[in-house]
Structure 1
Amino acid sequence: MQVEISLRMLKAGKHVIQEKPAAGTVSEAETAISCYNSFRDNFPHQPIWALAENYRFEPAFVESRKLLNDIGDMMHVQVIIEGSMNSSNPYFSSSWRRNYFGGFILDMGVHFVAGLRMMVGCEISTVSAIARHVDMALPPPDNICALFQLENGCAGVFVMAVNSISPKIYWRIDGSKGTLQIERGTDSGRHGYSDGGPLQVLFYTAGGHCQRTFYPFCGVNEELKSFIHDISRANRKDGITSHEPEPRSLYMEGARDVAVLEAMLASSAKQGAAVHVKKL
């Protein structure tokens, strides 16, 4: 319902920050974006449509992006997600996720794709994937293995299991001069997506040295601060003719996350055949 409600509010001239995922399908997102763009002539300045994707605001990803050039040419990328979505998780029984195309793979997966895109600094062009359904307590599919290629030519793997007995989450880029890794940490012995434990950044240099830095998991606070800043600027009456909102918050960015996962699921339906990610 949230896309329809967001568009109604935007049409009324209200600024909106919408929860992820941006839409259930790429087609729905494209229709929504076209509708949103049609509102431009209704107001002096188009209302802001932000997408609440906290991973693009997590300090660990922001700082890692700054280190990307220091690892030289990318050789390969790994994203490994071994989640802990079971009956003890508050999201486990939510009905809409069980009637949702892609289930938890799409709903949770947009976070991890957002982190990947934020970290590598370029788009994913093609994917080849196999998705499976193993844990019958979860909606299908509950795990996926994908090979992807970035627009810069580098290849990588994206492996996600919704529920694992040994949860682990990390993003890793191996370069010609070093390696960069972001890994979910633990908090008071607990591990899992909803625990809010820290993110640690591991930066390996060519000399074998490892620089380890911990960052708090605070992207939700940062995305809301950014949205408040944007609407404050947009509503000023001191002669500012326009204000460009924070690019990381744009609804379009959330739609691109959905496009990557939709391409993976489409590839699996074709027994792993390569699928181009829809450009938005």
Structure 2
Amino acid sequence: MSGQLAEVAARLDSTRQLGSVISAMRAIAASRSQQARRELEAIRLYAATIGQAIDQVLGSLPSGRSVAAPAAPGDGVLVVALCAEQGFAGSFNERVLDVALPLADKANSRLFIVGDRGLMVAGNRGRTPAWSVPMAAHTDEVSALADRISDAIYAALAARGPGRVLLVHGSPGEGEEQSIEQRRLLPFDFGRFPARLADGQAPLMNLPPTILLEQLAVEYVHADLCAALMLSYAAENQARMQAMIAAHGNLERTEASLTLEFQRVRQEDITDEILELSAART
């Protein structure tokens, strides 16, 4: 085997090995995205259960009495951008920050970034967040991460910073691109709950309604955070799966080109050997 043929054969073998790695990464990303979607249903059920409890407590309040409306928020906003923790996710982080950064440019506003890859992209754009934390690497880390984020949010609000909190995150779609969503997390709006009793019966409460509502609101915010994190995790892995599909397509074209080159060089080597043998006999 000539040196050129050996070189082409090595490149072809390396390309095939890389294809196996890409296929494995695509399968893992698809599995993680599907797992996140399944677990999202449990989070939504949890949030719905808390919402029903808020409905009943509000419905049990004496006629004419209502929960005090949240204080008017300040001009600033705390933007929490949920980005990717790992690479090979295409333009996922860029698209999240395209939405988050303009929102965080307002006066008295702050930016929190979840995900080291998003932190890197923000740094490339000359932006340093007020706080950052790694994104969950597995779905079973989402609840603990939501606790860390909520602690940081409440600490920022307690310091009389921005009056509103917005979440910016990806959401898995049916097509090739994930949608980028933003939702208000705080201040908590009790007005979106219908305030009704189940079967007309007032619930049994061991706490004053105002305290109970405050605790339920904290739980609902936690569920909101968990849902957003799970959606972002699913979208990140869907983006990675699609990036791997595109990479596999490019690799297949490269492999086909290398295969043709290998056959051409091999044929040239065979031809040279035949010519050498023919010349030696004459």
**Structure 2 length normalisation: TM-score?**
0.26
Q: Which structure carries more helix by proportion?
A: 2
Relative contact order, higher structure (CA 8 A, sep 6+): 2
**Structure 1 length normalisation: TM-score?**
0.26
